[in-house]
Chains A and B, each alone.
Chain A
Amino acid sequence: MITTTALNKSYKKVPVVRDVSLRCEPGTITGFLGANGAGKSTTLKMIVGLVRADRGTATIDGRPFRELPNPTRVVGTLLDASAMHPGRSGRSTLTIAARMAGVHPRRVEHLLDLVGITGSAAKRVGTYSLGMRQRLGVAQALVGEPRALILDEPANGLDPDGIAWMRTLLRDFADRGGTVLLSSHLLHEVEATADHLVVISGGAVVAAGRLDDLLASSTILVRSPDPVALAAALQAARIDHIAGPDDALTVDVSGGRVTTEVVAGVARDHQVLLTELRRSETNGLEQLFFSLTTAEAAPPQESAA
């Protein structure tokens, strides 16, 4: 279990992480989604104690990372696959990690095989592609037989085969009761891998929950030959709605109170004929994500402070 409570971090008084709270349960894969620079890496580094939080706490299995006696045995981390000594071979990189963790040297060969780099294990890491470094990094993360994994952009540099392999591995890990927290700036990557989602933008969490719930559209489309009467009926029932598309109405259901059944009931009570009533087809998460990333891509506003 990985939890954070209201993590905050500023660099030179510019906040990069603001009140980020997460909770990753055993048996789940949590995708940490955000544009580049949204604060994902800084948050992950605060969880593992590489970066000091200004405020807030982070725990693994209830203990701060820095208090874990031998953290590698509890949580495997891959935070930057390019942060490896280029002059050391893949095998010796992994051997060092295995020695620190205190696991049997036999595990090194086993892991090299698992991540598919046995053939290049004697070569220096400096000659590896980013994809190979990611694989070596995954082996390093798994070296201490951990119960949790924290991975920063693990799909970076992997070819499609590698990405599929990584998904299978992580799914398998979670299915056996492991906890996975991985970050990505690609919505589709997270959709395909994770079952829980935390979306971060500008350093703050803007959406969190089960992937299924977040992917479900957050609006209902309702159509009547008499849109004015329908609008009045919804108004009377205090159901938020907007006009469109065309002469249909769009009802906000994000609060959870309003369902298609509720809307149908209101229409019946007010004797309004409905010709269409369904969940909107728009992908709420995708809309949300793109609106956020587009906003970030726009030039930043001058701050008043």
Chain B
Amino acid sequence: MTTSISARTLGIEAAPSSALGPIPFPRLVLVEWAKATDTRAARWLLALGGLSTAGMMLAPVLAPTSFDQTYASYLGVAALALSILLPVVAILMLTGEWSQRTAFTTFTQEPRRIRVLNAKLAASMVLGGGAAVFGGVVTAAGLGVASASGRALEANLTVGAITGYLLFVLLNVLAGVALGALLQTSATAIAASFALPAACAVLGTASTLVADWIDMSTTWSWVLESDWGGHVPQISVSVIFWVAIPLAAGAVRTIRRDVT
């Protein structure tokens, strides 16, 4: 064991001036990205997400009569598959700080907590973008298998459809981030991410107000199908409800919460 310790090790000499500035935002994003992907649990979850997406892609390949044999329909399957586990990954990025108590280190290294939240938001968007690309690759593979089996597929993928797909995936990630930021407990937030949309769907059968303006399974499917005509207000309201409000409230809660 070392008993003679150099001054440099203990670091009492003045740090170089470059170190005295704030932590650059890209560095915070990189750190959050590393934290979201460097544990065994996180890798299992990501692998599971990948496998389930590939698995669900088998449905339109194996059951051609139940699914439209179009490019957009295959991409829609990938989107739905991603929307199951991706929000969970996003939730854990936020709640992990509290459940694993790493907030002690994180918020002493960067006491401006809003910067950490923004970095998590940015990292989650990178994750969502990467997942969307992965979903695209799985879709291409599914389409390849289907067309190799001699099936005729309608090549109906427009820029609008791809944009809708990307937005849908990112919205699901954002909803996870917002819920995680607000509830701050992994189990509660994950349960809520499955229960609340389901509850809205049920309420939607009783109230068209909920069905058309709040229920994300309706409004966000318009996004996925790139069906914007006349739906922009409803889509906006549901995004405010599921993303903006919980995210803002979660930011306030995160900033004010005592780390104990």
Q: Are the chains A and B members of one assembly?
A: yes
List A residues at the B interface (Cβ < 8 Å): 42, 45, 48-52, 65-66, 68-74, 77, 79-80, 82-88, 92, 95-97, 99-103, 110-111, 113-114, 116, 124, 140, 142, 144-147, 161, 165, 168-169, 172-173, 176-178
B1 touches A165 (CB 8 A): yes
List B residues at the A interface (Cβ < 8 Å): 1-3, 5, 7-15, 18-23, 27-28, 30-31, 34-35, 38-42, 96, 100-112, 256, 258-260
Could you give 18 example pairs across A and B, Cβ below 8 Å? A45-B260, A69-B20, A69-B23, A71-B111, A72-B109, A83-B101, A85-B35, A87-B42, A88-B39, A96-B34, A96-B35, A96-B105, A97-B109, A99-B31, A102-B23, A110-B9, A116-B1, A169-B10
- Residues of A close to B259: CB separation below 8 A: 45, 50-51
User: A149: shortest Cβ distance to chain B, in Å?
Assistant: 9
- Residues of A close to B42: CB separation below 8 A: 87
Given A99-B34, A114-B2, 16 more A-B residue pairs with CB atoms under 8 Å apart are A45-B259, A50-B260, A51-B259, A71-B108, A73-B15, A84-B100, A85-B39, A85-B100, A96-B35, A96-B38, A100-B106, A100-B109, A140-B105, A165-B1, A177-B12, A178-B10
A73 touches B111 (CB 8 A): no
**In chain A, what residue has the closest Cβ to B35?**
A96
**Other-chain contact of A79, B21, B30, B108 (Cβ < 8 Å):** B108
User: A110: shortest Cβ distance to chain B, in Å?
Assistant: 7
Contact (A87, B40) CB under 8 Å given A71-B111, A114-B5, A145-B11: yes
CA distance in complex: A108, B50 (Å): 33
A97 touches B105 (CB 8 A): yes
- Residues of B close to A92: CB separation below 8 A: 34, 38
A48 touches B10 (CB 8 A): no
- Residues of B close to A146: CB separation below 8 A: 11
A165 touches B101 (CB 8 A): no
**In chain A, what residue has the closest Cβ to B23?**
A70
Residue among A48, A65, A69, A101 with the highest chain B CB neighbour number at 10 A = A69
CA distance in complex: A7, B111 (Å): 19
A65 touches B111 (CB 8 A): yes
Contact (A73, B19) CB under 8 Å given A45-B259, A65-B111, A85-B96: yes
- Residues of B close to A99: CB separation below 8 A: 27, 30-31, 34
Contact (A173, B12) CB under 8 Å given A83-B101, A97-B105, A99-B31: yes
**In chain A, what residue has the closest Cβ to B8?**
A145
User: A4: shortest Cβ distance to chain B, in Å?
Assistant: 16
A80 touches B104 (CB 8 A): yes
CA distance in complex: A75, B78 (Å): 48
B256 touches A52 (CB 8 A): yes
B101 touches A50 (CB 8 A): no
- Residues of A close to B111: CB separation below 8 A: 48-49, 65-66, 68, 71
CA distance in complex: A169, B5 (Å): 8
User: B62: shortest Cβ distance to chain A, in Å?
Assistant: 36
**In chain A, what residue has the closest Cβ to B4?**
A172
CA distance in complex: A77, B110 (Å): 12
B12 touches A176 (CB 8 A): yes
CA distance in complex: A77, B104 (Å): 9
CA distance in complex: A101, B27 (Å): 10
B20 touches A70 (CB 8 A): yes
CA distance in complex: A71, B256 (Å): 19
**Other-chain contact of B107, A49, A110, A177 (Cβ < 8 Å):** A49
- Residues of A close to B106: CB separation below 8 A: 100
CA distance in complex: A99, B34 (Å): 10
Contact (A52, B258) CB under 8 Å given A66-B111, A99-B27: yes
